[in-house]
Amino acid sequence: MEAWQRFLDYVKINTQSDEDSGSTPSTACQQVLAKRLEEEMQALGLERVRREESGYVYGFLSASEGFENSPCIGLIAHLDTAPDFCGENVQPRVVENYEGGAIDLGHGRVLSPEQFPDLKEQIGHDLIVTDGSTLLGADDKAGIAEILTACERLITEKIPHCAIAVCFCPDEEIGHGAALLDIPGFGADFAYTLDGDAVNELNYETFNASAAQWEIQGVNVHPGSAKDIMVNACLVAMEINALLPTEEIPAKTEGYAGFFHLTDMSGSCDRAELKYIIRDHDEARYAARQEKMRQIEKEINARYGQGTAKLSMTEQYRNMACVLKDKMEIVRRAERAMEKAGLQADIRPVRGGTDGAQLSCRGLPCPNLGTGCYGFHGPYEHISTQDMEKATEIILNLVTEK
């Protein structure tokens, strides 16, 4: 089976995660895909296949003769899709032999090269797109499909290879990622996540990342007698946001530049809530961003009374470069795998996170590779069947190098 054929089946299973769930996996639907993958891995002939109550699915391929002294390489992708946009009842379609220009997705949405310049490189490809009403789920079901297709080829074509450990994880999109991945049981010497966009993308630098939540308690009285008494929680929330640097938001930053990103806001005069994510590649600047939030909390409480604003910050992941800078041979291995597939590696920092960030800091070095997907987390998500095949080829090159 080709990777894109697997992918078309996987995306029909809704696996959106839920950051407010408090359980792992955060949604029961992720276990539906996990069970499906468990059964598929067993049918393909992978060894030591197991699925845990937490939603993690593991498999293994022993080293071929002649590869006994080679490292065991891990291959990782995540089960969940982002909660940012509808992920239920996904109806993918294939635009064969894309000729360029705009694609009418439906529901008033158009996929155009003006918004997504990668389309100019996709002419002649068969594009998998949405119907405009949901996300596609290529992040990261494309990675899953590519890993299992590579495993199937290794088995059916009897291609010699090193030992391979496979894991599919829940809840990457909500910052949980690989927190419960059983590294000793996984058994890999190092690993790669398949969770990037361009098929030749290679990442070993990520943001340092925190989530920040503000709870704002107002004083609500009748507006006719509110002078010097009322504290409008919504207005205080607006003040908090105004105290952050206006240019340091995702829409105005790129490359290594960090940001504060307001993801959610709600409230009334009596009570309000703000949710942010804080990101920066540089450790010192990251710490300064966290301190900026703390200083705002002090300033607001000094202005309106202690207890008006309560700030909670939770660390999500760290820049994996702090580990991988001393493990560059595994990055070079990925470069060689891409070169063998006729591609030049595009090494760039991730303006986001991968399971590899957590894993690297937990002791399993884990760069990130592209899947061929673009337009993550929304109705404009798209991927070509040819790029999925190329990603599969890169995986095969990774695990067949002696």
- Between CA 257 and CA 64 the distance in angstroms is 44
Burial of 45 from C-beta contacts in 10 A (0-12 / 13-18 / 19+):
middle
Catalytic residue, chosen from 52, 80, 197, 381, is: 80
Residue 18 annotated among the catalytic residues of the structure: no
C-alpha closest to that of 372 among 390, 387, 350: 387
Amino acid at residue number 76: I
C-alpha closest to that of 201 among 321, 373, 22, 376: 373
Relative to beta strand 368-370, strand 190-196 is parallel
CA dihedral 12, 16, 22, 25 (to 10 degrees): 40
Q: Which residues touch 259 (CB under 8 Å, ≥6 apart)? A: 248, 249, 250, 252, 253, 278, 279, 280
* In the block, residue with structure tokens 């696996």: 15
- Between CA 297 and CA 291 the distance in angstroms is 10
C-alpha closest to that of 368 among 164, 148, 178, 196: 196
Cis, peptide link before residue 25, omega less than 30° from 0: yes
Catalytic residue, chosen from 38, 146, 171, 172, is: 172
Helices (H), 181-327: 183-186, 233-242, 283-304, 321-324
Residue 172 annotated among the catalytic residues of the structure: yes
Give catalytic residues, as residue numbers: 80, 172
